[in-house]
């Protein structure tokens, strides 16, 4: 029995070394004041890991199913390419509501993806307090990459998980590892060696400016109403003058 346990552990370590030691990811989001936005997500992984999921064609089919079954995504494109021993998965999306997109992370469309995808998509909590958006996301790369906890840090050397968020206004609070563009760009740059040891949380707060479309919706009727009132006053005066 102990021998079998030892064999199982060695096998898990061997698989983990093959599948997790060379994974990189970059997520970049552009968010507008009205909630619309776009994103570009790229994963680079060993071709052996892609073959476990059925290779390029199966991965494309899984991603196509996810995008098709996610109404929050208004437009999308994706590509899966293999060069040598590396496979790169790249997805570009546009969305009309960032909050609806966040809900999709735990929605039925995730069933089209491997279970590991839900751990990388994470748990999202987003709420508005007045005009302040309070956002928290927790991902669990260690659960997405079974066996990675047993590997030495040297196996992950040079591999990173990067998330970049471009906001319509400076963040008032965040735990970003780097802040750029006067607080409008937040960067979370995490070594994979750290990310697989424990869940990773990204959080920020930002006061969303009133969208221009909303301002227009309020402002445009005002001069029209004022013009209508002036027109009625002038018309009333003309009637009086005519009567006199």
Is 13 contained in some domain?
no
Is 171 contained in some domain?
yes
Is 85 contained in some domain?
yes
Structure tokens at 4: 């079998």
Is 62 contained in some domain?
yes
Is 239 contained in some domain?
no
- The whole-angstrom distance between residue 178's C-alpha and the CA centroid of its chain comes to 18
Is 14 contained in some domain?
no
Is 8 contained in some domain?
no
Which residues on adjacent β-strands are paired with residue 64?
none
pLDDT digits (tens, 9 = 90+) for 96-114: 887 777 666 556 655 556 6
Residue 157: helix, strand or coil by DSSP? coil
Q: What is the DSSP letter of 161?
A: E
pLDDT digits (tens, 9 = 90+) for 35-69: 889 999 998 888 877 777 778 888 888 888 888 88
Residue 62: the pLDDT is: 82
Instruction: Give the whole-angstrom CA distance, residue 117 versus residue 105.
Output: 9
Instruction: Give the whole-angstrom CA distance, residue 206 versus residue 169.
Output: 7
Is 243 contained in some domain?
no
Q: How many domains does the chain have?
A: 1
DSSP string computed for 87-141: EEEEEEEEES-HHHHHHHTTSGGGGGS-HHHHHHH-EEEEEEETTEEEEEEEE-H
| The pLDDT of residue 244 is above 90 | no
Exposed/middle/buried for residue 194 (C-beta within 10 Å: 0-12, 13-18, 19+): middle
* Structural domain span for residue 70: 23-219
pTM of the model: 0.74
């Amino acid at each position: 029995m102990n021998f079998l346990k030892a064999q199982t552990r060695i096998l898990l370590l061997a698989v983990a070394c093959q599948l997790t030691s060379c994974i990189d990811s970059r997520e970049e989001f552009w968010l507008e004041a009205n909630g619309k936005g776009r994103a570009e997500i790229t994963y680079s992984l060993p071709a052996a890991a892609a073959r476990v999921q059925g290779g390029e064609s199966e991965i494309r089919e899984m991603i196509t199913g996810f995008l098709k079954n996610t109404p929050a995504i208004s437009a999308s494109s994706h590509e899966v390419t293999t060069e040598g021993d590396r496979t790169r998965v790249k997805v570009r999306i546009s969305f009309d509501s960032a909050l609806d997109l966040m809900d999709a992370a735990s929605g039925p469309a995730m069933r089209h993806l491997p279970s590991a995808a839900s751990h990388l998509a994470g748990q999202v909590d987003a709420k508005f307090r007045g005009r302040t958006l309070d956002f928290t996301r927790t991902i669990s790369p260690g659960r997405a990459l079974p066996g990675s906890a047993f590997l030495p840090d040297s196996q992950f050397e040079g591999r990173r998980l990067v998330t970049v968020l471009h906001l319509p206004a400076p963040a008032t609070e965040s735990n970003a590892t780097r802040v750029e563009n006067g607080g409008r760009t937040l960067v979370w740059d995490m070594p994979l060696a750290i990310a697989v040891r424990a869940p990773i949380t990204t959080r920020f707060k930002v006061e969303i400016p009133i969208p221009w479309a909303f301002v227009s919706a309020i402002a445009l009727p005002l001069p029209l109403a004022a013009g209508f009132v002036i027109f009625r006053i002038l018309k009333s005066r003309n009637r009086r003058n005519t009567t006199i």
